[in-house]
Structure 1
Amino acid sequence: MIAPRKQRRLTAIAASTLTLALAVSACGAPEEDSNLSDKEKDCASYEKYGDFKDKDAEVSIYTPITDAEGDAYEKSWAYFAECTGIDVKYTGSNDFEAQIEVKVKGGKAPDIAFFPQPGLMARYKDKMVPASKKLVKEAEKGWSEDWLQYGTFDDELYAQPMSASLKSLVWYSPKYFKDNDLEVPETWDDLLAVSDKIAKTDVKPWCAGIESGEATGWPVTDWVEDALLRESGGELYDKWVNHEIAFNDKRIVKALDKVGGILKNKDYVNGGYGDVDSMAKVSFEEGGQPIVKGECAMHRQASFYAAQWPEGTKVGPDGDVFAFFLPGNKAEEKPLLGAGEFVAAFRDDPEVHAVREFLASELYVNARLKTGPLAFSHKGADPKNADNELNKMVIELYQDEGAEFRFDGSDQMPGHVGSKSFFVEMTKWIKGKSSKDALDAIEKSWDE
């Protein structure tokens, strides 16, 4: 799902390619960052990665992450670069998905790339360098098998996870809930009960927007994936994503109907905008905005939606808006749908392995948390280091031992399905097409 992924991650970012110059060199100290701990600034912490000061070592990193977020990444490894003597050259590009193909096929692949989609990364597995034994050990210590499977090919780890966003969230107004004696729901039935209570007032329980240019419809695909995880679990979800069961299997129909119980319920939607059909005309960026206007109570969208609220909006448990976990069928169930980046390498040299191993470490993860907004699924990430309450909550959910994580399904499917027919049919579904007819059409498209 290449185009929509770019939209989701880079909505507020200027459409330009940005090359960021590292703020340190082998002969100069990093720019001081008071947020980092003494350990993160002490060269003794980096001795295990080797000494490259006399080796003119340079490692290039190419990613889809630009501007301020790219600056934050550079600050997070500045002391590593200074202490090891590795000159890390970072380039962030809004045209990553197209340019990585040009670079790899042209024999000019970066030393390291941060891939936002497992499906995209899999295209280049024959060119990628497998993880070293040290990296495998570090990665297995840091991430669950649920996460590592997406960077594993032919039973060998090639790429460890990087950052993580969480999609299984519902945005709401804490003040509205408090003023109306509403409690954050712990189960799906609770969620419907809260929705029913709100529906009896002059405020609609839900608001949504699914318009996104050529990618219109993608927000519904996230709803479907979340519902399927809740109804059938990760094993069946994987079979569906890999087309080991039909796209229109009766269990998928059931999951879509579960979503329809909210999105196609005229008593529930579309707060601030109109009827059910209005969702197809409202952009995903605008979808949740009626919450801050008091016209809508809830909006299901990922953690990255925090950047969409109007300037001055306070995000937090006592703020203007916050989010809660989209509950499972039982309170103890924690099905998590998410996305993130993976670290892959195209050069097999000691300095490249050193950078990869550092990026998989607890030391790095916690340094990165302190240099700018981000969340990780790494087991060693300390929620206290998160720069806001939302990312703290995301980290805690990912670290829940009872959580079952799955990566965005449409991002893993063939492009003509995951980012085309799936989008198109979910838009038609919002406009009135039946669940079975929409899923039948997607199934038919799979082999076309």
Structure 2
Amino acid sequence: MKRSQRRLLMPIGIAGITALALTGCVGDDAGGGGEGDGEAADCSTFEEYGTFDGAEVSLYGTILDAEADRLDESWADFEECTGIDMVYEGSGEFEAQINVRVQGGNPPDLAIFPQPGLLASVAGTGSVLPAPDSVVENAQEYWTEDWQNYGTVDGTFYAAPLMASVKGFVWYSPTVFEENGWEVPTTLDELDELTATIADSTEESGVTPWCVGFGSAEATGWPGTDWVEDYVLRTAGPDVYDQWVNHEIPFDDPQIVDAMDRVGDLILDPANVNGGIGDVSTIATTDFGEGGLPVLDGTCGMHHQASFYEGFWSEDGSVEVAEDGDVWAFLLPGAEAGESPVTGGGEFVGAFSDAEEVVAAQTYLSSPEWANSRVSLGGVISANNGLDPENASSELLSQAVEILQNPDTTFRFDGSDVMPGAVGTGTFWTGMVNWVGGESTQSVLSTIESSYP
């Protein structure tokens, strides 16, 4: 169950998030809420959505725990001003249960799909309704063509994006790097050299280059797919990446084998992992949420994980995420200096009802007003072009927003999210587990290729 928000199952520990919590709109530029002072919502922001007496809209998705609470808070003013009660239900079994509910004639009004591939699968049953005009208009104004395409199936636009994440960050301790004279790499070759340098000094420094965790209950393996996707995009290029994701070339094409072997040089070498945890075999059993924590105690040099991982460093905000703080991150570099193509993920809101209150809610969720409201609450970002990066809860997340909004960014959606479910959330995941267990790259990729529907 790999998607950007499904990974946020632990309480977010970002300093100041609770202080940012919004309880009501006060007419700020972002269209977000108030400052927790109990002021009533400024309903002029929501006049366009209409008013409803006792209407209810059900939403179903993968977002759980503290993140689900913030989701509820993000639309509180919309509820107050429109009279629509937004009833959200989160589930760790969304991917299986959404189909069960659809087939049983009990779908939610709105579903927050954690991956384009699943949206396409469910839309293929004819149960998801095409997006209403108001959502189409918002998508065309506030989202890039690429993001619109991820919500489009066979030429029909069904779902506008919601939140997003930038993947491929490498987290590290600025203090540990400074004490050892290590520099942030600007190319993949320099990253290899840095890895070797840290490994050579492990006995003296006590730092092992990498710490890695692929564990995620029934979704174990997904962090490995992120590694492979990042390297395919950087070493083979965006065109080959697209061909691979769309199965226009075999899954085990030599270019994919080379990219995965390059990852293996880093994380399958016993000298490089698993810092602060154990040997290579512990990668498969270490929960992804805990995989990077040895960075904090100086036993691990680097951890590869998406922007959302900022929320995993502490539960109480005691860990400072800053360039001169306890932990920071650099984007996985490209093959050449200055080249850092980006992979990312996000959710998409599809509808099973066209009731007026459902259209109103779906439209609001595609707006910059909602994006600014939710991002201001902390821990997440959005690719909505109407989002003010300053509303992000940290400097790193602000940078991630700017990366997504930059028209010159070479962006590709998480490949396994777009692939057919049997592959992207099936054999690709299990293949990563088999790989760290000792199976060869060629064997793993060939098995995945043979699983294609």
Question: Superposed, which structure 2 residues align to 1:21-420 within 5 Å?
Answer: 31-32=23-24, 40=32, 41-49=41-49, 51-53=50-52, 56-125=54-123, 126-202=126-202, 203-311=207-315, 312-420=318-426
Is contact 1:173-1:297 (8 Å) kept?
yes
Is contact 2:27-2:42 (8 Å) kept?
no
Per the TM alignment, residue 56 of structure 1 is displaced from its structure 2 partner at its CA by 4.8
Cα separation, 2, equivalents of 1:5 and 1:356: 21
Q: What letter corresponds to residue 404 of structure 2 in structure 1? A: Y
Q: What letter corresponds to residue 147 of structure 2 in structure 1? A: W
> Matched residue of 1:410: which SS?
helix
Q: What letter corresponds to residue 383 of structure 1 in structure 2? A: P
Cα separation, 2, equivalents of 1:318 and 1:119: 39
> Matched residue of 1:123: which SS?
helix
Structure 2 regions of 5+ residues with no counterpart? Answer: 12-21, 33-40
> Matched residue of 1:427: which SS?
helix
Cα separation, 2, equivalents of 1:7 and 1:340: 8
Per the TM alignment, residue 248 of structure 1 is displaced from its structure 2 partner at its CA by 0.8
Structure 1 regions of 5+ residues with no counterpart? Answer: 14-29
Is contact 2:25-2:42 (8 Å) kept?
no
Cα separation, 2, equivalents of 1:289 and 1:406: 28
Q: What letter corresponds to residue 100 of structure 2 in structure 1? A: V
Cα separation, 2, equivalents of 1:45 and 1:11: 32
Per the TM alignment, residue 87 of structure 1 is displaced from its structure 2 partner at its CA by 3.2
Cα separation, 2, equivalents of 1:150 and 1:399: 16
Q: TM-score, normalised by structure 1?
A: 0.87
Is contact 1:224-1:256 (8 Å) kept?
yes
1:268-322 CA distance string (max 9 Å, x none): 3232234434423433333222211211110111223334335433322222212
Is contact 2:245-2:418 (8 Å) kept?
yes
1:168-199 CA distance string (max 9 Å, x none): 11110011122223332222223223223323
Other-structure match for 1:24: none
Cα separation, 2, equivalents of 1:375 and 1:6: 10
Whether 1:425 aligns to 2:424 is: no
Per the TM alignment, residue 384 of structure 1 is displaced from its structure 2 partner at its CA by 0.9
Per the TM alignment, residue 366 of structure 1 is displaced from its structure 2 partner at its CA by 0.8
> Matched residue of 1:195: which SS?
helix
1:33-81 CA distance string (max 9 Å, x none): 77966954432222222x224x554322222223332232232222223
From the superposition, tell whether residues 128 and 421 of structure 1 become closer, same or farther in structure 2 (CA, over 3 Å). Answer: closer
Q: What letter corresponds to residue 52 of structure 1 in structure 2? A: T
Q: Which moved more, 1:362-371 or 1:437-446?
A: 437-446
Cα separation, 2, equivalents of 1:430 and 1:32: 49
From the superposition, tell whether residues 145 and 177 of structure 1 become closer, same or farther in structure 2 (CA, over 3 Å). Answer: same
> Matched residue of 2:380: which SS?
coil
Per the TM alignment, residue 392 of structure 1 is displaced from its structure 2 partner at its CA by 1.8
Q: Which moved more, 1:199-208 or 1:293-302?
A: 199-208
Per the TM alignment, residue 160 of structure 1 is displaced from its structure 2 partner at its CA by 0.6
Is contact 2:31-2:370 (8 Å) kept?
no
Cα separation, 1, equivalents of 2:305 and 2:272: 16
Cα separation, 2, equivalents of 1:79 and 1:288: 36
Count of residue correspondences: 427
Cα separation, 2, equivalents of 1:10 and 1:433: 30
1:73-94 CA distance string (max 9 Å, x none): 2322222233333333333333
Cα separation, 2, equivalents of 1:432 and 1:57: 55
Cα separation, 2, equivalents of 1:38 and 1:171: 30
> Matched residue of 2:185: which SS?
coil
> Matched residue of 2:7: which SS?
helix
> Matched residue of 2:415: which SS?
coil
From the superposition, tell whether residues 117 and 188 of structure 1 become closer, same or farther in structure 2 (CA, over 3 Å). Answer: same
From the superposition, tell whether residues 37 and 380 of structure 1 become closer, same or farther in structure 2 (CA, over 3 Å). Answer: closer
> Matched residue of 2:255: which SS?
helix
Is contact 2:211-2:276 (8 Å) kept?
yes
Is contact 2:51-2:82 (8 Å) kept?
yes
From the superposition, tell whether residues 135 and 214 of structure 1 become closer, same or farther in structure 2 (CA, over 3 Å). Answer: closer
Q: Which moved more, 1:305-314 or 1:358-367?
A: 305-314
Is contact 1:146-1:404 (8 Å) kept?
no
Cα separation, 1, equivalents of 2:88 and 2:213: 35
Is contact 2:3-2:345 (8 Å) kept?
no
Cα separation, 2, equivalents of 1:367 and 1:212: 29
Other-structure match for 1:27: none
Q: TM-score, normalised by structure 2?
A: 0.86
Q: What letter corresponds to residue 106 of structure 1 in structure 2? A: G
> Matched residue of 1:297: which SS?
strand
Q: What letter corresponds to residue 207 of structure 1 in structure 2? A: C
Q: What letter corresponds to residue 351 of structure 1 in structure 2? A: E
Cα separation, 2, equivalents of 1:435 and 1:98: 29
Q: What letter corresponds to residue 270 of structure 1 in structure 2? A: N
Per the TM alignment, residue 353 of structure 1 is displaced from its structure 2 partner at its CA by 2.0
Q: Which moved more, 1:103-112 or 1:167-176?
A: 103-112
Cα separation, 1, equivalents of 2:406 and 2:190: 21
Is contact 1:8-1:304 (8 Å) kept?
no
Cα separation, 1, equivalents of 2:391 and 2:4: 27
Cα separation, 2, equivalents of 1:7 and 1:73: 11
> Matched residue of 1:285: which SS?
helix
